[in-house]
Structure 1
Amino acid sequence: MCGIAGLFTRDPQAQIDASVLTRMRDAMVHRGPDGAGLWADSGVGLSHRRLSIIDVEGSPQPMHSADGRAVIVFNGEIYNYRALREELGELGHRFRTQGDTEVILAAWREWGVQCLHRLDGMFAFAIYDRQTRQLFLARDRFGVKPLFTVVLPDGTFAFASELKGLLAHPQVGRRIDPLAIEDFFAWGYVPDHRSMIAGVEKLPAGHYRLIEHGKAPSAPVEWYDISFADRHTLGEHDEGDAIRGRLRDAVSSRMVSDVPIGAFLSGGVDSSTVVALMAGLASQPVTTCSIGFDVAELDETAHARLIARQFSTDHHERIVDPAMFDRIDRLARIFDEPFADASALPTVEVCALARQHVTVALSGDGADEAFAGYRRHVFHAAEERARGALPAGLRRAAFGPLAALYPKADWAPRPLRAKSTLRALALSGDEAYARALCVMAPDARSAIFSKAMTRELGGYRAEQPLIDLMRNAPARNGLDRAQYADLKFWLPGDILTKVDRTSMAVSLEAREPLLDHRLVEFAAGLPHNRRVSGMEGKFAMKRAMEGTLPGEILYRAKQGFVLPIAQWFRGELKDAARAAARSETLLDTGWFDADALSRMAEDHISGRRDRARELWQLLMLDRSMSLLGNTA
């Protein structure tokens, strides 16, 4: 795992300032503490920070192809590089190293852009072709590895693995995009179609770009998409065999490493599945790491210990409590952009714990999106059945007024929150799912924004890109469209961003076997009732793991990896909640209604309403803005 950065000038004869490129590279030293490299020629410069995982002593970057035509910088891992190396060797390619970087170069020389379809892995890379003088950038199928880009005022195209790498360049501005603020308060993160800094872009997952001297940078080209349009017709026994086989292959391929490897273990279905399969493949006990909480109803360490005992792992634990709140500034620095998924704090703690014992850790991320494992999938599937039974006009006329009249009940379990259900049924499935994903609904966001901010947004609503994505999805029904949106929008913007930044912050490589594209593609073809059966999500995967995992792990209520921030903001951290709502940094932007922010804090502290997630958003935005500096 590594960090990459580069510069590509509009003028092919322009000289690259190596000192600037070095600053960009070394702003990401945490991504690669084991080595650094830089190569520059007229019009182009590439740089690299290395975390050594495969071919530890070899494979320095930037790396040149055997014929000298191409130069690459690469962040990630190619899991099938040995098979590709053998195939390419039979086609006449010769290799000087034992790593996967050189295999990418050879694959590109052999197949051009189509090499992307041959690569099984997580990656973001840039290849410079010295003959055509083109720069080729690509990102993996689901966006496990990040890539930020910007066109500088002088026309230079710059890229880096993290925003902080771009911000190390003196020509990159600090002007905040107001649409990113709307997006952030809707989702709790800045999604991949937006950046906090105006002018900065993120190469979308499953896309590539070709950049040429003297021309405006071309738009990203999609090379991979997931489809829910087809269905399998397997019986339950064959289906279980197919799932188990793909799970085993995915885990096995991601256990290839020249350094110590372990796993995150929460005690949920997904991480327990990964650990169970690792234990069956490993010749020695698997190293597992878990995080617990000081609030009993959110703590899963007992379930993690159950799995650790069953599979005889070398198990390690750490407890997160309010005292760790003093690390919030470091958390903001890790993400650059504001990131308000509160599970980021325990995630960085479990990464730090894992790094004390291993260099690579396997996670359980991706299965909920692929197999419909979130509770929102179960509710959405039920709501879609109701929508199918009633005309849209009738639903709007009947359920809209009822939702307006029904009292709000944040304290109640989700099935008893009739206001949310009635409101959802009055909307289309796409609109309702977008609302279900939101941290703050449109009316709640409007209530905290100033009139000036509302004018600046010009009618933009953060939900619309997700709604459009669902409406155009290659899908058969509402559940398909919801999962498609999760894989294309939520997963890269929230889950994978969280894991990449927190793991890289401690120089740990995290791998996601449950995002193996063959496994995800198989899951996308499962019949609706094999993903959600009644009120049980992730049904086919759970059935496939029966006999391997105990029932109390497979069929217990899903428990998210979340901080007990609601309790903390009414207790030890209530002063921090008030401070966030009164932040001069935020109020000086002119984006917010000061009275509305104060009411939000007091409503939560008094117990009148649960506003913990919104307060966490304010807090993370405040800290991120302080780091970014200019808010104009």
Structure 2
Amino acid sequence: MCGIWALFGSDECLSVQCTSAMKIAHRGPDAFRFENINGFTNCCFGFHRLAIVDQLYGMQPIRIKKFPYLWLVYNGEIYNHHTLKERFEFTDYQTKVDGEILLHLYERFGIQKMASLLDGVFAFVLLDTANRKVFLGRDTYGVRPLFKLLTDDGFLAVCSEAKGLTDITHSMSSPPKITPFLPGHFEVFDLKPTGKVGSIQMDRFHCCTQEPNHAAYDTVERLPSGFVPETVKSNIRSLFENAVRKRLMAHRRIGCLLSGGLDSSLVAATLVKLAKEEKLKYPIQTFAIGAEDSPDILAARKVASYIGSEHHEVNFTPEEGLKAVEEVIFHLETYDITTIRASVGMYLVSKYIREKTDSVVIFSGEGSDELTQGYIYFHKAPTPKAAAEDSVRLLKELYLFDVLRADRTTSAHGLELRVPFLDHRFTAYYLSLPEEMRQPKDGVEKHLLRDSFKGLNLIPDEILWRRKEAFSDGMMSVKKSWYNSLQDQMESEVNDFQLEKSPKTFPFLPPRTKEAYFYRQVFEKLYPGQAEWLSHYWMPRWINATDPSARTLSIYKPDKDQ
């Protein structure tokens, strides 16, 4: 991860404003730069670097001699930058940084085509001083975060995390609104001589259901068409393996989170397989967290032994988890219940990785549940069409929940997250399949994905067909779930009177449980008046759910070995 920060049209001292940029220093522990923009004394960029590619010359803002009027700060990885460079015969490359491709694409094609040709995850601020334009953009699923603050008089502040904007000072009649930048969109601003801006265009450049424009230049062979089951399963395997392969782009050590569930196991097994083919000079490290003999720990241990990874287990106790809750909410910038529950384990395992190992680039299985209808409530979908529509909804909301969790918990410890299940081509193909083919089958969620890898011996069969278990649930035994420990603790933290008055205390999205009330209290202490950063709580559909945990649902059935 890296952290980007930019101001346009500030009426306060930039050296004072710069202190806000330091709130996201954890995202880039390797280097920091603060740079004023030539000719605009009230505009500047801030950048925290986590060096993954071109460690010597990859500092930002990126500026090259060929286009001296362009300034770029971005957080992300462009996996097809070599392909695009060769395809369009770009010359005079100045660095080996993947992000330099944005400057060449923009100069030749403009912002719309530039954004649509990028195969990767990214959030960027691009400044064109020659044409007096500022551009913001964010990848399809919002894997990389981006927030903006725009005042009525045209002051614009941008940051990778909202916390980097909360203390920005500017003369204004009312508090400005800090909003997440919409994934899959770009925005164009006119830059005035004063440094202030005016928004003139906001457009979508890619939606998850569309075949991405960059697919025309992909190195993957053209896939066989049609919906014959064997053809579909072969295509799924090819696209998934390619999604993992392209994400091997790194000059730092690669590792993988491994819960022992289907998704992380497929990622880890494919990663180990490709690492051997690519002759990486080190073994792939895998990381599991959970209570001793919890379902996830046991399953992950089995997978790691099977695939031959260098496996690490992090012991999780409820007491340690409870101590970390406030830190986790600080990094998450949310009070969503299930997001916080799942984030505690991911935060603690990321802390272990940073402190005890040299792995920096971390693969994970985020996005699969949304794409492949993995949540057990999909068994209750009234129709295949309803299930398919909800799958797309979940993908579009990832930046508010699972992707937010994965980004913040890893970046808090200076790690970089890679999520192959959210590869553009893989998701577009999967969503193009018939609705009936994608829904749960024979009482098994993700049936198509599982069946696609059946008989390949990539992972153990019992893992391939292991029932869905939420990360925050699988860390503990069925008898005493993590959410049970949290709720027990909150009984002493929040009293009945407080909960009864919660609609008055918190009129926006009032908490309905003591656990939710506690999270909201902590959030309001850290980020007062910012409740609208969360638009709604994550909750299962089509079932009478009062809690987001799958273990509370009437249709939940644990594996027989749990």
Q: Same fold (TM over 0.5)?
A: yes
Question: Could you give the per-residue CA deviations for residues 69-90 of structure 1, whole angstroms, max 9, x where no partner exists?
Answer: 20000011111122223234x2
Report the alpha carbon displacement of residue 277 of structure 1 after superposing the two structures with TM: 0.8
| Matched residue, 1:508 | 415
| Matched residue, 2:33 | 37
Report the alpha carbon displacement of residue 159 of structure 1 after superposing the two structures with TM: 0.8
CA contact (8 A) 1:243 1:544 kept: yes
Report the alpha carbon displacement of residue 573 of structure 1 after superposing the two structures with TM: 6.5
1:109 counterpart SS class = helix
Question: Could you give the per-residue CA deviations for residues 371-401 of structure 1, whole angstroms, max 9, x where no partner exists?
Answer: 2222122221xx227xxxxxxxxxxxxxxxx
Does 1:69 pair with 2:69? yes
2:299 counterpart SS class = helix
| Matched residue, 1:80 | 80
Distance in 2 between residues matched to 1:276 and 1:18, nearest whole Å: 48
Change (3 A) 1:559 1:631: closer
CA contact (8 A) 1:34 1:49 kept: yes
Match of 1:292 among 290, 293, 307: 290
Distance in 1 between residues matched to 2:492 and 2:45, nearest whole Å: 45
CA contact (8 A) 2:490 2:515 kept: no
Question: Could you give the per-residue CA deviations for residues 522-578 of structure 1, whole angstroms, max 9, x where no partner exists?
Answer: 100122232222322222211111122222112122111115697667668735334
Distance in 2 between residues matched to 1:615 and 1:572, nearest whole Å: 10
CA contact (8 A) 1:569 1:576 kept: no
| Matched residue, 1:272 | 265
Report the alpha carbon displacement of residue 368 of structure 1 after superposing the two structures with TM: 1.7
Distance in 1 between residues matched to 2:400 and 2:390, nearest whole Å: 15
Question: Could you give the per-residue CA deviations for residues 474-527 of structure 1, whole angstroms, max 9, x where no partner exists?
Answer: xxx2122111111112x1210000011101100010110111010001100122
Change (3 A) 1:59 1:201: same
CA contact (8 A) 1:228 1:484 kept: no
Aligned partner of 2:144: which letter? K
Aligned partner of 1:274: which letter? V
1:29 counterpart SS class = helix
| Matched residue, 1:482 | 390
Question: Could you give the per-residue CA deviations for residues 154-193 of structure 1, whole angstroms, max 9, x where no partner exists?
Answer: 5311111101110131249999xxxxxxxxxxxxxxxxxx
Counting matched residue pairs gives 491
Distance in 1 between residues matched to 2:461 and 2:207, nearest whole Å: 34
Change (3 A) 1:344 1:631: closer
Aligned partner of 1:313: which letter? S
Match of 1:24 among 12, 20, 23: 20
Distance in 2 between residues matched to 1:620 and 1:15, nearest whole Å: 35
Distance in 1 between residues matched to 2:104 and 2:427, nearest whole Å: 27
Distance in 1 between residues matched to 2:155 and 2:499, nearest whole Å: 32
Aligned partner of 2:490: which letter? A
Distance in 2 between residues matched to 1:583 and 1:98, nearest whole Å: 60
Q: RMSD value over aligned CA atoms?
A: 2.9
Does 1:554 pair with 2:464? yes
CA contact (8 A) 1:23 1:169 kept: no
CA contact (8 A) 2:77 2:120 kept: yes
| Matched residue, 2:488 | 574
Distance in 1 between residues matched to 2:164 and 2:299, nearest whole Å: 40
Distance in 2 between residues matched to 1:172 and 1:299, nearest whole Å: 54
| Matched residue, 1:101 | 99
Question: Could you give the per-residue CA deviations for residues 587-616 of structure 1, whole angstroms, max 9, x where no partner exists?
Answer: 6993359xx98xx7xxxxxxxxxxxxx333
| Matched residue, 2:151 | 152
Aligned partner of 2:203: which letter? V
Change (3 A) 1:302 1:138: same
Aligned partner of 1:332: which letter? I
Question: Could you give the per-residue CA deviations for residues 378-434 of structure 1, whole angstroms, max 9, x where no partner exists?
Answer: 221xx227xxxxxxxxxxxxxxxxxxxxxxxxxxxxxxxxxxxxxxxxxxxxxxxxx
Report the alpha carbon displacement of residue 579 of structure 1 after superposing the two structures with TM: 1.9
| Matched residue, 2:549 | none
| Matched residue, 1:204 | 182
CA contact (8 A) 1:61 1:72 kept: yes
Report the alpha carbon displacement of residue 20 of structure 1 after superposing the two structures with TM: 3.6
Distance in 1 between residues matched to 2:31 and 2:485, nearest whole Å: 45
| Matched residue, 2:205 | 223
| Matched residue, 1:7 | 7
Unaligned regions of 5+ residues in structure 2, if any?
212-223, 532-562
2:524 counterpart SS class = helix
Does 1:623 pair with 2:522? yes
Aligned partner of 2:209: which letter? S
| Matched residue, 1:319 | 315
Larger radius of gyration: 1
State the percentage of identical aligned residues. 26
Distance in 1 between residues matched to 2:446 and 2:486, nearest whole Å: 37
Question: Could you give the per-residue CA deviations for residues 419-455 of structure 1, whole angstroms, max 9, x where no partner exists?
Answer: xxxxxxxxxxxxxxxxxxxxxxxxxxxxxxxxxxxxx
2:67 counterpart SS class = coil
Distance in 2 between residues matched to 1:118 and 1:370, nearest whole Å: 22
Does 1:111 pair with 2:109? yes
Report the alpha carbon displacement of residue 631 of structure 1 after superposing the two structures with TM: 7.9
| Matched residue, 1:262 | 255
Change (3 A) 1:55 1:200: same
| Matched residue, 1:367 | 368
CA contact (8 A) 2:472 2:482 kept: no
Distance in 2 between residues matched to 1:240 and 1:174, nearest whole Å: 58
Aligned partner of 1:576: which letter? M
Distance in 2 between residues matched to 1:31 and 1:586, nearest whole Å: 39
Distance in 2 between residues matched to 1:346 and 1:160, nearest whole Å: 26
Report the alpha carbon displacement of residue 326 of structure 1 after superposing the two structures with TM: 1.3
Aligned partner of 2:352: which letter? L
Comparing 160-169 and 534-543, the one that deviates more = 534-543
1:205 counterpart SS class = coil
Distance in 1 between residues matched to 2:4 and 2:73, nearest whole Å: 6
Aligned partner of 1:261: which letter? I
Change (3 A) 1:583 1:363: farther
Does 1:250 pair with 2:228? no
Please identify which structure carries the higher helix content. 1
Match of 1:537 among 432, 440, 445: 445
1:73 counterpart SS class = strand
Distance in 1 between residues matched to 2:96 and 2:156, nearest whole Å: 32
Matches within 5 A, 1:62-461: 62-65=61-64, 66-88=66-88, 90-91=89-90, 93-113=91-111, 114-152=113-151, 154-171=153-170, 199-214=177-192, 216-218=198-200, 220-227=202-209, 233-282=226-275, 283=279, 284-293=282-291, 299-324=295-320, 325-340=322-337, 341=339, 342-355=341-354, 356-357=356-357, 358-380=359-381, 383-384=382-383
Unaligned regions of 5+ residues in structure 1, if any?
176-196, 386-476, 601-613
